[in-house]
Chains A and B, each alone.
Chain A
Amino acid sequence: MIKAVMMMNTQGKPRLAKFYDYMPVEKQQELIRGVFSVLCSRPENVSNFLEIDSLFGPDSRLVYKHYATLYFVLVFDGSENELAMLDLIQVLVETLDKCFSNVCELDIVFNYSKMHAVLDEIVFGGQVLETSSAEVMKAVKEISKLEAASNSISLVPKSVSGWRGR
Chain B
Amino acid sequence: MEQLKTIGRELAMGSQGGFGQSKEFLDLVKSIGEARSKAEEDRIVLSEIDILKRKLLEPDVPKRKMKEYIIRLVYIEMLGHDASFGYIHAVKMTHDDNLLLKRTGYLAVTLFLNEDHDLIILIVNTIQKDLRSDNYLVVCAALNAICRLINEETIPAVLPQVVELLNHQKEAVRKKAIMALHRFHRKSPSSVSHLISNFRKRLCDNDPGVMGATLCPLFDLISEDVTSYKDLVSSFVSILKQVTERRLPKSYDYHQMPAPFIQIKLLKIMALLGSGDKNASEIMSMVLGDLFRKCDSSTNIGNAILYECIRCISCILPNPKLLEAAADAISKFLKSDSHNLKYMGIDGLGRLIKISPDIAEQHQLAVIDCLEDPDDTLKRKTFELLYKMTKSSNVEVIVDRMIDYMISINDNHYKTEIASRCVELAEQFAPSNQWFIQTMNKVFEHAGDLVNIKVAHNLMRLIAEGFGEDDDDADSKLRLSAVESYLQLISEPKLPSLFLQVISWVLGEYGTADGKYSASYISGKLCDVADAYSSDETVKGYAVSALMKIYAFEIASGRKVDVLPECQSLIEELLASHSTDLQQRAYELQALLALDARAVETIIPLDASCEDIEVDKELSFLNGYIQQAIESGAQPYISERERSGMFETTDYHPQDHHEVPSHTLRFEAYELPKPSVPPQASTELVPVPEPYYSESHQPISTSLVSERESSEIKLRLDGVKQKWGRPSYQPTTAASSTTQQAANGITSHSDGGVGSSSSKPRSSYEPKKPEIDPEKQRLAASLFGGSSSSRTDKKSSGGHKPTKGTVNKPATVPKENPTPVQPPPDLLDLGEPTATISAMDPFKELEGLMDSSSQDGGSNDVMGLYSDAAPVTTTTSVDSLLSELSDSSKGNSRTYQSQTSKGPNTKEALEKDALVRQMGVNPTSQNPTLFKDLLG
Which residues does A use to contact B, with CB under 8 Å? 13-14, 16-18, 20, 22, 25-26, 28-29, 42-43, 45-51, 53-54, 58, 79, 81-84, 86-88, 90-91, 104, 106, 109-113, 116-117, 120, 124-132, 134-135, 139, 142-143, 146-147, 150-151, 154, 157-162, 164-166
Do A154 and B63 have beta carbons less than 8 Å apart? yes
Q: Residue on A with the closest CB to B19?
A: A110
Do B97 and A161 have beta carbons less than 8 Å apart? yes
Q: Residue on A with the closest CB to B253?
A: A132
Do A125 and B182 have beta carbons less than 8 Å apart? yes
In angstroms, Cα B101 to Cα A165, docked, is 17
Do A83 and B137 have beta carbons less than 8 Å apart? no
A contact residues around B75 at 8 Å (CB) = 112
A contact residues around B170 at 8 Å (CB) = 166
B contact residues around A130 at 8 Å (CB) = 175, 209
One digit per residue, 1 when the CB lies within 8 angstroms of any chain A CB and 0 when it does not, for chain B 48-92 equals 000000000000000110000001001101111110000000000
Chain A: minimal CB distance from B81 (Å): 8
Do B219 and A151 have beta carbons less than 8 Å apart? no
Considering the complex of A and B, which 9 residue pairs feature the smallest CB-CB distances, nearest first?
A54-B413, A83-B304, A22-B114, A125-B147, A47-B339, A46-B375, A29-B80, A165-B134, A161-B135
Q: Is B33 an interface residue when CB atoms closer than 8 A count as contact?
A: yes
In angstroms, Cα B181 to Cα A125, docked, is 10
Q: Residue on B with the closest CB to A61?
A: B377
Contacting residues of chain B (206-238) with chain A, CB-CB under 8 angstroms: 209, 212-213, 216, 219, 223
Q: Residue on A with the closest CB to B180?
A: A125
Comparing B340-348, B389-397, B525-533, B868-876, the segment that makes contact with chain A is: B340-348
Do A83 and B219 have beta carbons less than 8 Å apart? no
Do A106 and B826 have beta carbons less than 8 Å apart? no
In angstroms, Cα B176 to Cα A104, docked, is 29
Name the one of A47, A58, A165 contacting B828, with C-beta atoms under 8 angstroms.
Answer: A58
Question: Given that A47-B340, A84-B261 are known contacts, is A160 also in contact with B98, CB under 8 Å in the complex?
Answer: yes
A contact residues around B144 at 8 Å (CB) = 120, 124
Q: Is B764 an interface residue when CB atoms closer than 8 A count as contact?
A: no
A contact residues around B828 at 8 Å (CB) = 53, 58
Name the one of B18, B21, B260 contacting A84, with C-beta atoms under 8 angstroms.
Answer: B260
Do B9 and A104 have beta carbons less than 8 Å apart? yes
Do B414 and A127 have beta carbons less than 8 Å apart? no
Count, A-B residue pairs, CB within 8 A = 203
Chain B interface size, under 10 / 10 to 19 / 20 to 34 / 35 or more: 35 or more
Q: Is B925 an interface residue when CB atoms closer than 8 A count as contact?
A: no
In angstroms, Cα B310 to Cα A83, docked, is 13
Name the one of B97, B107, B303 contacting A116, with C-beta atoms under 8 angstroms.
Answer: B107
Q: Residue on B with the closest CB to A159?
A: B97
Question: Given that A43-B374, A81-B264, A84-B261 are known contacts, is A142 also in contact with B137, CB under 8 Å in the complex?
Answer: yes
Q: Residue on B with the closest CB to A22?
A: B114
B contact residues around A14 at 8 Å (CB) = 78-79
A contact residues around B374 at 8 Å (CB) = 43, 46
Do B172 and A139 have beta carbons less than 8 Å apart? yes
Q: Is B430 an interface residue when CB atoms closer than 8 A count as contact?
A: no
Given A49-B343, A79-B268, A129-B175, 11 more pairs with CB closer than 8 A: A13-B33, A43-B374, A47-B340, A48-B340, A49-B377, A81-B268, A106-B9, A110-B21, A113-B71, A124-B213, A161-B135
Q: Residue on A with the closest CB to B25?
A: A110
B contact residues around A126 at 8 Å (CB) = 183
Q: List 23 A-B contacts (CB under 8 A).
A: A46-B375, A46-B378, A47-B340, A48-B339, A54-B412, A79-B219, A83-B303, A83-B340, A84-B308, A113-B103, A113-B104, A124-B179, A125-B180, A129-B175, A129-B176, A130-B175, A142-B137, A146-B99, A150-B99, A154-B64, A158-B97, A160-B135, A164-B135
B contact residues around A129 at 8 Å (CB) = 175-176, 179, 209, 213
Do A81 and B307 have beta carbons less than 8 Å apart? yes
Q: Residue on B with the closest CB to A110?
A: B19
In angstroms, Cα B147 to Cα A20, docked, is 9
Q: Residue on A with the closest CB to B115?
A: A22
Do A127 and B182 have beta carbons less than 8 Å apart? yes
Do B254 and A132 have beta carbons less than 8 Å apart? yes
B contact residues around A127 at 8 Å (CB) = 179, 182, 213, 216
Q: Residue on B with the closest CB to A41?
A: B376
Do A83 and B344 have beta carbons less than 8 Å apart? yes
Chain A: minimal CB distance from B95 (Å): 12
In angstroms, Cα B102 to Cα A151, docked, is 11
Q: Is B6 an interface residue when CB atoms closer than 8 A count as contact?
A: yes
Question: Given that A17-B78, A22-B115, A25-B82 are known contacts, is A58 also in contact with B304, CB under 8 Å in the complex?
Answer: no
Chain A: minimal CB distance from B724 (Å): 31
Name the one of A28, A43, A54, A143 contacting B411, with C-beta atoms under 8 angstroms.
Answer: A54
Chain A: minimal CB distance from B471 (Å): 39
Q: Residue on A with the closest CB to B414?
A: A54
Do B254 and A91 have beta carbons less than 8 Å apart? yes
Name the one of A45, A50, A58, A131 contacting B826, with C-beta atoms under 8 angstroms.
Answer: A58
Q: Residue on B with the closest CB to A18?
A: B111
Chain A: minimal CB distance from B350 (Å): 13
Name the one of B9, B10, B13, B138 contacting A161, with C-beta atoms under 8 angstroms.
Answer: B138
Chain B: minimal CB distance from A143 (Å): 6
Name the one of A47, A117, A135, A143 contacting B251, with C-beta atoms under 8 angstroms.
Answer: A135
Do B264 and A143 have beta carbons less than 8 Å apart? no
Q: Is B587 an interface residue when CB atoms closer than 8 A count as contact?
A: no
A contact residues around B398 at 8 Å (CB) = none
Chain A: minimal CB distance from B342 (Å): 7
Name the one of A53, A86, A106 contacting B413, with C-beta atoms under 8 angstroms.
Answer: A53
In angstroms, Cα B38 to Cα A14, docked, is 13
Q: Residue on A with the closest CB to B84?
A: A25
Name the one of B29, B219, B253, B260 contacting A110, with C-beta atoms under 8 angstroms.
Answer: B29
A contact residues around B307 at 8 Å (CB) = 81, 83
A contact residues around B114 at 8 Å (CB) = 22
A contact residues around B474 at 8 Å (CB) = none
A contact residues around B381 at 8 Å (CB) = 51
Chain B: minimal CB distance from A95 (Å): 12
Question: Given that A87-B301, A106-B9, A131-B261 are known contacts, is A160 also in contact with B136, CB under 8 Å in the complex?
Answer: no
Name the one of A42, A47, A111, A147 contacting B99, with C-beta atoms under 8 angstroms.
Answer: A147
Chain A: minimal CB distance from B917 (Å): 22
B contact residues around A28 at 8 Å (CB) = 78, 80
Q: Residue on A with the closest CB to B136?
A: A166
Q: Is B710 an interface residue when CB atoms closer than 8 A count as contact?
A: no
Q: Which of A116, A124, A150 has the most CB of B within 10 A?
A: A124
Q: Residue on B with the closest CB to A125?
A: B147
Do A143 and B137 have beta carbons less than 8 Å apart? yes
Chain B: minimal CB distance from A67 (Å): 15
One digit per residue, 1 when the CB lies within 8 angstroms of any chain A CB and 0 when it does not, for chain B 1-38 equals 00000100110010000110100011001001100000
Name the one of A49, A87, A150 contacting B98, with C-beta atoms under 8 angstroms.
Answer: A150
Q: Is B200 an interface residue when CB atoms closer than 8 A count as contact?
A: no
Do A106 and B10 have beta carbons less than 8 Å apart? yes
B contact residues around A91 at 8 Å (CB) = 254
Question: Given that A17-B78, A84-B261 are known contacts, is A151 also in contact with B301, CB under 8 Å in the complex?
Answer: no
A contact residues around B260 at 8 Å (CB) = 84, 87, 131
Chain A: minimal CB distance from B683 (Å): 14
Q: Is B133 an interface residue when CB atoms closer than 8 A count as contact?
A: yes
Q: Residue on A with the closest CB to B147?
A: A125
A contact residues around B826 at 8 Å (CB) = 58
In angstroms, Cα B259 to Cα A26, docked, is 39
Chain B: minimal CB distance from A39 (Å): 12
Name the one of A16, A111, A147, A157 contacting B78, with C-beta atoms under 8 angstroms.
Answer: A16
In angstroms, Cα B216 to Cα A20, docked, is 15
Do A151 and B100 have beta carbons less than 8 Å apart? yes
Q: Which of B21, B25, B209, B340 has the most CB of A within 10 A?
A: B340
Q: Residue on A with the closest CB to B100?
A: A147
Q: Residue on B with the closest CB to A145?
A: B137
In angstroms, Cα B133 to Cα A136, docked, is 22
A contact residues around B311 at 8 Å (CB) = 81
A contact residues around B74 at 8 Å (CB) = 112
One digit per residue, 1 when the CB lies within 8 angstroms of any chain A CB and 0 when it does not, for chain B 411-427 equals 11110010000000000
In angstroms, Cα B935 to Cα A91, docked, is 46
